[in-house]
Amino acid sequence: MTGDTKAIKDHAALADAFNADEPRVNWHDETLWFIRQKRDKAAHTIPDWEQLRETASRIKHNVLSNLHDYLLQFESNAKANGIIVHWAADAAEHNQIVHAILQKHKVDRIVKSKSMLTEECHLNDYLAENGIEVIDTDLGERIVQLAKEPPSHIVLPCIHKKKEEIGDLFHEHLGTPAGMADPQVLTEAARQHLRETFLTRRAALTGVNFAIAETGEFVICTNEGNADMGAHLADVHIACMGIEKLIPKREHLGVFLRLLARSATGQPITTYSSHFKKPREGHELHLVLVDNGRSTQLGRENFRNSLKCIRCGACMNTCPVYRRSGGHSYHTAVAGPIGSILAPNLDMKKNADLPFASTLCGSCSNVCPVKIDIHDQLYKWRQVIVKEGYADKKKRLGMKAMTQAFASPTTFQLAGKAGRWFMRNVPFVVNNNLNPWYKQREMPAPPKESFGEWYQKNRKKTDE
């Protein structure tokens, strides 16, 4: 697949490496399939589920078509509530804004709850380079932070890690007994360790799940309570959000909060759905609105619907490729099907492989709570990537040759013994041992005659 783009990370190669350990692939697949099943069960408790998805989708379509005005409305209401609003055109500006707020308050250690946006902007690295220590407080994020890895899933950051590996990390960093791998004990150790951290950090950074134009408030959903622990104990709360997270009215939360957790984990709702409208008396509440390519994506007619995403992760859990290749094989902050339609907008060359990391089975579009046509967009990104010249040269030539060969019915039919032409011309059956088809699969056995030949002999005369 890589050909002329060897230096760039490639999904197929990373997936191949992931598949070297088959029992682990089985474990990863089963774990995520279990979550998909929980999601199914939760969805089936709501007879109106499909109508709920449709409603959410329509609200989001309205948001995208009126985003300019909603942003202004939100800004003015948030300011009236006492929230300090910032605008960041890109990741770099986002990081600078956050850094400047921390500098102003002379803070060099912060707590952070889950925010895929800050992953996208590589905020932790930036702050570390500027001498600011960030402690991720979501348990899964803390685990991958200790392991010096990025999250492999937007909702379940360390879903790729086995409890024994987490036990080893905690033994090294938090002093749990060697060999201890009981989730209960490990979670308790993290609770103790992070409680101390919450109590000693003066600034907290959080993401945002929904921001409401009508009221200027924003909502953060967690199960652990870490966003609230951070925000309510710190002097300064900085919340970072992509501009697409807006929804028009507070009542729309009724729709989205019914869908979010059920789609994500099969829970009826997250433990905490916290609505932040005003800062705590005498404290600062900052909100950073980030574009970072979103306004460009908004202009891509075929791909703008990807901005409807509410980051539930259901498309990853259901994706048969994600489950068998792992989140890191997508080499981007947001993995899986949704990541594969978002990432090419940010960097088409670097992410040219991702829309091809799919069989287009369509399960992602079916589980999506806001009905993003994910698999259709994957198909459309493939067309764009090829047209923009990011397709591998060998593949380009192969496709041209195949097209030409097919163009002539006569060549196709006169190729001689059935299958022979195919073996020569169609990439997935090329008959040699170097062919990836043959590595773990037998070739189809060519029959005595093709259907066309059979038809000539057995039916043609009666037609005429």
Partner 1 sequence: MSSRDSILAAVARNQPELLPLQEVPSFASEEANLGEKFSTVAVSIGSKVFRVQSIEEAKQILLKEHSGARRVISVFPEFADVAEASPVSDTDPHTLADVDLAVLPAQLGVAENAALWVTDAQLPLRVLPFICQNLALVVPQQNIIPLMHHAYDVIGAQEYGFGTFIAGPSKTADIEQSLVLGAHGARTLSVFILV
Partner 2 sequence: MTVSLFIPCYVDQFYPNAAIATLELLEKLGVKVVYPSRQTCCGQPMANSGFEHLTMESNNQFIENFREFDYIVAPSGSCVLHMKDHLHSGKYPNESESVRQKVYELTEFLTDVLKVNSLKARFPHKVGLHQSCHGQRGLKLASMSELVAPAFSKPEQLLSMVEGLELIELTRKDECCGFGGTFCVAEEAVSVKMGKDRVMDHLQHDAEVITGSDMSCLMHMEGILRRKKSNVRVMHIAEILNAQEL
Count Cα neighbours of 444 within 13 Å in the Cβ-side half-sphere.
Answer: 12
What span, in angstroms and rounded, lies between the C-alpha atoms of 241 and 198? 22
Residue 177 vs 427, nearer CB to partner 1: 177
Quickly count: other Cβ atoms within 10 Å of residue 191's Cβ. Answer: 12
Q: Within 40-79, which residues bind partner 2 (CB under 8 A)?
A: 40, 43-44, 46-47, 49-50
Q: Within 248-287, which residues bind partner 2 (CB under 8 A)?
A: none
Q: Within 306-365, which residues bind partner 2 (CB under 8 A)?
A: 318, 320-321, 324-325, 355-363, 365
CB of 381 to partner 2, least distance (A): 8
Residue 215 vs 431, nearer CB to partner 1: 215
Query: Do residues 60 and 213 touch, judged by C-beta distance below 8 A?
Result: no
Query: Do residues 161 and 171 touch, judged by C-beta distance below 8 A?
Result: no
Q: Within 72-131, which residues bind partner 2 (CB under 8 A)?
A: none
Write out the DSSP string of 32-50.
HHHHHHHHHHHHHT-TTHH
CB of 303 to partner 2, least distance (A): 15
From 18-26, 65-73, 145-153, 174-182, span contacting partner 2 (CB under 8 A)? 18-26
380: three-class secondary structure by DSSP: helix
Q: How big is the site for partner 2, counted in residues (CB under 8 A)?
A: 84
The edge-to-edge listing of strands for the beta sheet with 84-88 is 84-88, 284-290, 236-242, 203-206, 109-112, 133-136
Residue 277 vs 395, nearer CB to partner 1: 277
Query: Do residues 292 and 115 touch, judged by C-beta distance below 8 A?
Result: no
Residue 48 vs 164, nearer CB to partner 2: 48
Could you say whether residue 301 binds partner 2 (CB under 8 A)?
A: no
What span, in angstroms and rounded, lies between the C-alpha atoms of 111 and 10? 33
Could you say whether residue 386 binds partner 2 (CB under 8 A)?
A: yes
Could you say whether residue 27 binds partner 2 (CB under 8 A)?
A: no
Could you say whether residue 29 binds partner 2 (CB under 8 A)?
A: yes
Binding test (CB under 8 A) with partner 2, winner from 106, 442, 457, 461: 442
* Residue 41 interacting partner from partner 1, partner 2, none (CB closer than 5 to 8 Å by kind): none
Residue 40 vs 172, nearer CB to partner 2: 40
Residue 158 vs 208, nearer CB to partner 1: 158
CB of 366 to partner 2, least distance (A): 4
Q: At what angle do helices 253-264 and 22-44 cross, to 10 degrees?
A: 150
Q: How many residues does the chain have?
A: 464
Query: In angstroms, how far apart are the furthest CA atoms of the chain?
Result: 93
